[in-house]
């Protein structure tokens, strides 16, 4: 119920989120002793309540708050699904979401935590489910998929009302099937992950960049 999370409204008023150019993560101004930042994106930052840790608050930059009602609408269309986080409500500059535990797939690569095939299948099922609800699941990447007890949980559905397929998930799935067996259970250097990400964001996503950047021989050589 609304009163369950309104306790955080006063604390959230102490925090200001500023967007940055060139698709850089937002800047956070101010702080609260009862909230901790658990993530930053290009439009918003996410805070967990220390008093009621089941809640996470996605606080948008002032020039991005027009996205809040649209994202809330996506959650309404998704309804109760095991694949996605839950939205409990919203105010003028933030969404109230369920806090999701577990490492992201990005964390799994960094720490060498095995990513089971079930996670890939779950994301495919989640995308099919979203389409059946009239949505367009996109912008699915390593940092918005959590590993929870061997299953996938997806956060950040803010682009699901936008048209087009950005092909991010298709490319990630291709990399998983072709290259992940080589590195499963082994930590991947941060520099390598960021290099691949940056080249991907700068390049032509229809090209053979995966083969060029993370070919089998190169990955194998990292752990010889």
Whether 31 and 65 share a structural domain: yes
Mean pLDDT of 115-128: 98
Whether 54 and 109 share a structural domain: no
Query: 10 Å Cβ neighbour count for 200?
Result: 18
Q: Among 78, 98, 118, give the residue marking a domain's end.
A: 98
Mean pLDDT of 173-199: 87
What is the rounded CA–CA span in Å between residue 153 and residue 188?
Answer: 22
CATH code of the domain containing 118:
1.10.510
DSSP state of 187: P
pLDDT band of residue 221 (cuts 50, 70, 90) is very low
Whether 110 and 94 share a structural domain: no
In this prediction, residue 179 carries a pLDDT of: 87
In this prediction, residue 1 carries a pLDDT of: 43
SS3 readout for 84-108: ECCEEEECCCEEEEECCCCCEHHHH
Of the listed ranges 10-19, 127-136, 192-201, the least confidently predicted one is 192-201
Q: Among 82, 98, 114, give the residue marking a domain's end.
A: 98
What is the rounded CA–CA span in Å between residue 200 and residue 175?
Answer: 12
Whether 59 and 164 share a structural domain: no
Q: Do residues 77 and 156 make contact, with C-beta atoms less than 8 angstroms apart?
A: no
In this prediction, residue 101 carries a pLDDT of: 94
Q: Among 38, 73, 98, give the residue marking a domain's end.
A: 98
This prediction's pTM: 0.86
Whether 92 and 112 share a structural domain: no
Whether 86 and 171 share a structural domain: no
Query: 10 Å Cβ neighbour count for 141?
Result: 17
User: What residues make up the domain containing 171?
Assistant: 105-222
Q: What are phi and psi of 212, to 5 degrees?
A: -70, -40
Q: Do residues 40 and 25 make contact, with C-beta atoms less than 8 angstroms apart?
A: yes
Whether 190 and 210 share a structural domain: yes
Whether 197 and 165 share a structural domain: yes
CATH code of the domain containing 30:
3.30.200
Whether 110 and 70 share a structural domain: no
Whether 113 and 7 share a structural domain: no
Whether 93 and 122 share a structural domain: no
Total tally of structural domains belonging to the chain: 2
Whether 217 and 185 share a structural domain: yes
């Amino acid at each position: 119920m609304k009163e369950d999370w309104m306790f955080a409204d006063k604390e959230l008023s102490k925090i200001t989120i500023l967007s940055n150019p060139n698709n850089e993560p937002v800047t956070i101004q101010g702080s609260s002793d009862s909230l901790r930042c658990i993530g930053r994106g290009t439009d918003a930052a996410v805070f967990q309540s220390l008093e009621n840790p089941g809640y996470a608050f996605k606080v948008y930059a002032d020039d991005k708050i027009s996205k809040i009602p649209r994202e809330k609408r996506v959650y309404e269309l998704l309804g109760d699904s095991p694949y996605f986080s839950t939205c409990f409500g919203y105010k003028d500059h933030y969404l109230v979401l369920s806090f999701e535990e577990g490492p992201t797939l990005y964390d799994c690569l960094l720490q060498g935590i095995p990513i089971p095939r079930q996670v890939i299948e779950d994301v495919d099922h989640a995308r099919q489910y979203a389409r059946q609800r009239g949505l367009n699941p996109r912008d699915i990447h390593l940092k918005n998929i959590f590993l929870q007890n061997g299953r996938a949980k997806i956060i950040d559905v803010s682009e699901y009302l936008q048209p087009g397929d950005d092909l991010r998930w298709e490319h990630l799935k291709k990399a998983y099937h072709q290259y992940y067996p080589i590195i499963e259970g082994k930590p991947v250097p941060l520099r390598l992950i960021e290099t691949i990400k940056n080249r991907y964001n700068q390049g032509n996503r229809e090209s053979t960049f995966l083969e060029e950047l993370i070919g089998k021989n190169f990955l194998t050589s990292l752990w010889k």
